[in-house]
Structure 1
Amino acid sequence: MDKFPISKGHVLIVPKTHYQEFSEVDSISLSEVILSAQKIAQSLEKLLNTDGITIMQNNGIFKDVEHYHMHIIPRFNGDGFSWVEPDIDINDSDFELLQMKLNECL
C-alpha cells in the first residue's frame, strides 16, 4: 500500500531486485510486475467498486524515490486526480522522422 495514497487502495509494486530506472529492469521482473498489477487491479475493482484503474510508472527526474516501482491507483468519478495534457504541435515531417528513427531503434 502506498504510504501517501492518491486514492483509497493505491498500491505500489516493487521488484525484489533493485533497479533505479524502468529501462534497467530485466524481462522476468517486468513480466512479474505487470502480471501482479493486473491481479491487484482486478481485486481492487471488485473490493472497492471502482470506476476505473490507473496504472502508471515514472522515470528520471519525475520519480519520487530512487527505485523502479509501478502504481496501481483505484479511480472514482470525481476523485480529483487528473492527467493534464499540454497543448503542443508537431508537424507531419517531425512526426514521420521520429517514427522512422524509432522503428530503426527497435
Structure 2
Amino acid sequence: MADKPCVFCQIVAGESTAHEVWRDERIVAFLDTKPVFHGHVLMVPTVHIRTYDQLPIDLAEHWLTTSQRLQLAVQEAQGAEGSLILMNNIVSQSVPHLHLHVIPRVRKDGLRFWLGPRHPYASDEQAAETAARIKAALSLPA
C-alpha cells in the first residue's frame, strides 16, 4: 500500500497552494490552514525530512536563523507580545514532514498550553538514574 503524498512536499513543489510568507531554496514558510491564532505559520525544509534528528547539519544554521527571523516577523505583523515555537516529533505530528510552528501570543489570549499530566520523580535517586541513562545515550555514536 502506497503512502499518501506528503502535503508539505506538494506545497514546496507548487502542486498545492498555500499562503506563503517565505521561500528560498532550502525553506518554505506558510500560514497554517487551521491556525491557533491568525498569523500561525509553519516552516518546512524543502527536502522531505521526517523528524528533527534527521535535519542535516548543513541545513541547521539556516533553519535556526530563518526561524528566528520568522518568529520576529510574525510577532511584529500580528502585534503579538511573544510567540509559541514548537515542533512535534512523530507523536502529534499530523504531517510526517519536519515542521516548526510559530504561533503569535498575547497575554490572556485564552490559549491553555498544557504540558501534563506531570510525573514527578519518586526520589532524587530516580532522577539521578534517569539523568545517568540520558548521559549514557548522549555518549553513543550518532
Match of 2:75 among 45, 49, 60: 45
Quote the Cα distance in structure 2 between the aligned partners of 1:30 and 1:18.
14
User: What TM-score comes out, normalization by structure 2 length?
Assistant: 0.65
Unaligned runs of 5+ in 2: 1-30
Aligned partner of 2:119 in structure 1 is: 88
CA distances 1:42-97 after superposition (whole Å, capped 9, x unpaired):
11222222121111110113200011111111112222321323221222332342
Could you say which structure has the larger radius of gyration? Answer: 2
- Asked if 1 retains the 8 angstrom alpha-carbon contact of 2:39 and 2:74, the reply is yes
Question: Hey, which of these two has a bigger chunk of helix by percent?
Answer: 1
Query: Which of structures 1 and 2 has the larger relative contact order (alpha carbons within 8 angstroms, sep 6+)?
Result: 1
Aligned partner of 2:56 in structure 1 is: 26
* Moved segments of 4+, more than 6 Å: none
Aligned partner of 2:23 in structure 1 is: none
Q: Secondary structure at the match of 1:71?
A: strand
Quote the Cα distance in structure 2 between the aligned partners of 1:60 and 1:49.
32
Count of paired positions: 106
- Asked if 1 retains the 8 angstrom alpha-carbon contact of 2:74 and 2:102, the reply is no
Question: Hey, which of these two has a bigger chunk of strand by percent?
Answer: 2
